[in-house]
Amino acid sequence: MDNHALLFKRLMENTPESVFFKDLNSRFIAINTTCAAKFGLENPEEAIGKTDFDFFAIEHAQVALEDEHQIIATQQPIINKEEREVFNDENRTVAWASTSKYPLLDEDGTVIGTYGITRNITEKKAQYEEIQHLKNQMESILNAVPNMIFVKDEYGRFVLANEAAKNYLDSEFGDIIGKTDYELGVPEERADQYRNIEKEVIATQKTAFHPEEKTYRHDGTEFWHQTIKVPFTLGNGKPGVLSVTTDVSKRIQYEVELLDSLNVISKQNERLSNFAHIVSHNLRNHAGGISMLSSLIQVSESTEEKEELIGMLESASERLNETIADLNEIIDKQSKAEIDLKLLDFREVLDGIKEVLATEIKTHGVKFFEEIEPGLYFRYSPAYLDSILLNLCSNAIKYRHPDRVPEVHIKVWREQEKVHMQISDNGRGIDLEKHSASIFGMYKTFHGNENAKGIGLYITKNQIESLGGSIQIESEPDSGTTFTIDFGKQHRNKMLTPV
């Protein structure tokens, strides 16, 4: 036996792959020991003259025969063909193999058959199928979650994306795989932002969290998303970034609704507070006036004076009833989001307040100077306007200067559909250098009056600002006080003048 024959014999005896040779009719002319063991033979020579039909079920043997006829006809090999081998035994054993077959030529180059080598890949096939099964399961899980999950390479190209990400991004651009944010129509500024974050994640190998941001889908639908980006290694060993984007639109909506509810509750509480202050403070003015009139009636000596005082008492009682009616209306409507506004005649409201204060006006000889634009109507809360005017007018009288006849100057005007009021007095004034920070504070008093409660200006400011307005003060000791009021933006475009 020459060296070549010896080497061939050793290869046939020891290679773990099955080696076989066949004639033109696909009959075995030689097999190695591994192939014999595969066929259940004790000696390779037992296979000589037999075909695949002797060892395999017809579904595999027929395909193998056709392949060999093709090789003989074309002299072209078949390389690494994956085959499902079904054995012709009682159990119809199944194995997987990778087979390469070649034309068998004689010394003259004439085809005299085929030969081949088969590698058993049953275990690897099972492992592959298990991996594929796990991969399919993972894909199913990724596609089932509502979060957008995707992976980009170091150049910002999508290399993997679940259905949620594809549905959000690829509507008009086709598959997003291989594309960048720029190619998918993401606004350049936002695409730059994403790109910079991903570069930083790759460079630092640290996770980055992108907080809530408003985004828009291709169809204009608004969403709120938050994203976490983590370092990721691709299958080729190159760096990438895994992103998980969560739709937090419902949470943001709930937060907005909660904030709106809190604002409504705050406004309701504010109105309840105003109502409580109006009851405790403003009714005291009415009650005080009625009490004073009752005392004056008791000591009056003339019938004319008594009749005049009784008339003033009746007017004061009517104003008290009107105030109580307004307060009852506020109670009935506390559950509403906004205070109901009514079309008010400013002159009429001011005259009513002067009737409430008629006793104090008469007792102290208060002079009113009024400059009110004729027919000035505007929408406002009746109870609030009564309270504002009553507080400011009563304060002008209460803090009158002892050495001067009390004067109250009231100017009301419309300017570019804005209603303003300026009310000035010549009273004792306030040292704003000392008290400017607390002038509108609750329970803040500045003159030591026993009857002063320190809530009138607090109520007034609160009511004006609750309807979108503002109040300013100018004052000097012994020189009087001026309040300037803007009745609020939300009412400026609703100024009406009856025809």
pLDDT, tens digit (0-9, with 9 covering 90-100), for 152-180: 999 999 888 888 777 777 655 557 888 88
What is the distance between the alpha carbons of residues 233 and 218, in angstroms, rounded to a whole number?
Answer: 30
**pLDDT for position 444:** 47
287 and 204 housed in the same domain? no
What is the distance between the alpha carbons of residues 384 and 392, in angstroms, rounded to a whole number?
Answer: 12
**pLDDT for position 38:** 92
Read off the pLDDT of residues 446-486 as tens digits, 9 standing for 90 and up. Answer: 445 545 445 677 778 878 887 888 899 898 888 899 999 99
Q: Which domain holds residue 98?
A: 3-120
Report which of residues 329 and 392 the model is more confident about: 392
**pLDDT for position 254:** 77
103 has a pLDDT exceeding 90: yes
243 and 261 housed in the same domain? no
**pLDDT for position 435:** 66
**pLDDT for position 101:** 95
**pLDDT for position 20:** 94
Question: What φ, ψ does residue 173 adopt, rounded to 5°?
Answer: -110, 0
Average confidence (pLDDT) over 356-364: 89
Average confidence (pLDDT) over 355-365: 89
102 has a pLDDT exceeding 70: yes
End-of-domain residue from the set 227, 247, 267: 247
Residue found under tokens 């392949």: 67
272 and 407 housed in the same domain? yes
Count of structural domains within the chain = 3
115 and 149 housed in the same domain? no
173 and 291 housed in the same domain? no
Flag whether 130 is in a domain.
no
341 has a pLDDT exceeding 90: no
End-of-domain residue from the set 247, 279, 302: 247
366 has a pLDDT exceeding 90: yes
Flag whether 468 is in a domain.
yes
**pLDDT for position 166:** 79
188 and 112 housed in the same domain? no
Percent of the chain with pLDDT over 70: 83
Average confidence (pLDDT) over 264-276: 67
285 and 219 housed in the same domain? no
Q: Of the ranges 106-110, 117-121, 389-393, 439-443, which one carries the lowest mean pLDDT score?
A: 439-443
What CATH number does residue 398 fall under?
3.30.565.10
245 has a pLDDT exceeding 80: yes
204 and 327 housed in the same domain? no
**pLDDT for position 422:** 94
Read off the pLDDT of residues 197-244 as tens digits, 9 standing for 90 and up. Answer: 889 999 999 998 877 777 766 666 777 888 889 998 888 888 999 888
**pLDDT for position 409:** 95
Q: Of the ranges 19-33, 38-52, 53-67, 266-280, which one carries the lowest mean pLDDT score?
A: 266-280
48 has a pLDDT exceeding 50: yes
174 and 63 housed in the same domain? no
278 has a pLDDT exceeding 80: no
What is the distance between the alpha carbons of residues 396 and 389, in angstroms, rounded to a whole number?
Answer: 11
Please give the mean pLDDT across all residues of the chain.
82
Report which of residues 433 and 264 the model is more confident about: 433
Report which of residues 214 and 339 the model is more confident about: 214
Percent of the chain with pLDDT over 90: 32
End-of-domain residue from the set 67, 85, 120: 120
